[in-house]
Amino acid sequence: MQFTKKISNQIQNYLNSEKKPLICVVWPTATWKTEFWIEIAKNFSWEMINCDSKQIYKDIECITGLDYEELKWVKNHFFWIAEITDNSWSSAKFLEELEKLIDEIYKRWKVPVLVWWTGLFFSSLIEWFEIPKNSTNPKIVEELEKKSNEELFLELQKVDFEYSQKTHQNNRVRVIRALEFFYSSWIKKSSERKNIEKKFNPLIFCKKIFSDEERNILYEKINIREEKIFLNSIKKISEILKNFSDDEKIFFEEQKKFPALKSIWITEIFLFLKWKISKEEAILRIQQFARNYAKRQMTWWRKKDWVDFVL
């Protein structure tokens, strides 16, 4: 994707109208966004911020498909700053640190460019909703944890139908958080807003992939990319896994404690090394997951009428 004169003019017009500019590049996975944001950063000498939850952690760069050589051309933040056993990087902490960093960048008279995105990490900033730092009522959470995903979701539909429409039934953490919020405050999560005024009015670029042909091309690229990442990651991830239990049940319990281990690549490599699945099956699973992820990303952004789609 080329950085065109039209895009440059669009950015310049945006800068002329915004006191707190924020540029976001949120294309689906495997859609040439790296080349695009590098061109933006180089043309304007701006600073880039990672909003991908996995790229925060050290030692697992191999599963992100990102080469550090690609980053050296621009000043960047939030890449590989935490140990894989660090479980403190919640969405709430990320949002707090991100807002501090953006303020620091403004003080340097630079513009922050947000790239990549993980649901809550990115959305919490640009859609201006509050993320609770911890549970406000552990007793309520304890009771909710006893229920199945289906029971929890039906309960959420009864108390806050609007919020349930924006939440998947299997997103257990989010459903429990919404129910806890309601039973603690008797306020619907759907009506909650962090501030009346928006903190930012970002300029958001997203790759337009709407036709069947475009999707098929993207999915084929994802298949090739994920197979390459898997094969290139086996040795590195196997070394990392030596620091954790080789017992399947215990390892999956450890995954719950450490977000860095929850990546699909790490799970599939673990199962492959344990002879639970073949290499071919592991690759097929990862490819399917990545295609589904890209599909969810495209669906999510298509619903946003304030996004600038780049052809």
The mean per-residue pLDDT over the stretch 229-238 comes to 91
Alpha-carbon gap, residue 234 to 123, rounded angstroms? 32
Question: 3: pLDDT confidence band, cut at 50, 70 and 90?
Answer: low
120-179 pLDDT, tens digit per residue, is: 666 667 665 455 555 567 788 888 989 999 999 999 999 999 888 878 888 887 888 889
How far is the C-alpha of 126 from the C-alpha of 105, rounded, in Å?
17
Q: Which helix (H) or strand (E) holds 52?
A: none
Domains and CATH numbers, the chain: 5-130+196-209+299-310 (3.40.50.300), 138-191 (1.10.20.140), 212-296 (1.10.287)
Q: What is the pLDDT of residues 169-215, one digit of tens each?
A: 888 878 888 898 888 888 888 776 544 456 778 888 877 776 888 88
pLDDT tens, residue by residue, 88-110: 887 778 888 988 999 999 999 99
pLDDT at 273: 93
Mean pLDDT of the chain: 83
Say yes or no to pLDDT of 276 above 90.
yes
- Report the C-alpha gap between 127 and 129 in whole angstroms: 6
> pLDDT-derived band of residue 69, with 50, 70 and 90 as boundaries?
confident
The predicted structure's pLDDT at residue 106: 95
Q: Per-residue pLDDT for 277 more than 80?
A: yes
Q: Between the CA of residue 112 and those of 107, 133, 159, 240, 249, what are the distances in Å?
A: 11, 25, 39, 33, 42
To the nearest 10°, the Cα dihedral for 165, 166, 167, 169?
30
Per the model's pLDDT, the better-predicted residue between 251 and 62 turns out to be: 251
pLDDT grade for 2, boundaries at 50, 70 and 90: low
* Structure confidence at residue 287 as a pLDDT band (50, 70, 90): very high
* Residue among 64, 14, 67 at smallest CA distance from 40: 14
Q: 124-133, 138-147, 222-231, 241-250 — which is least confidently predicted?
A: 124-133
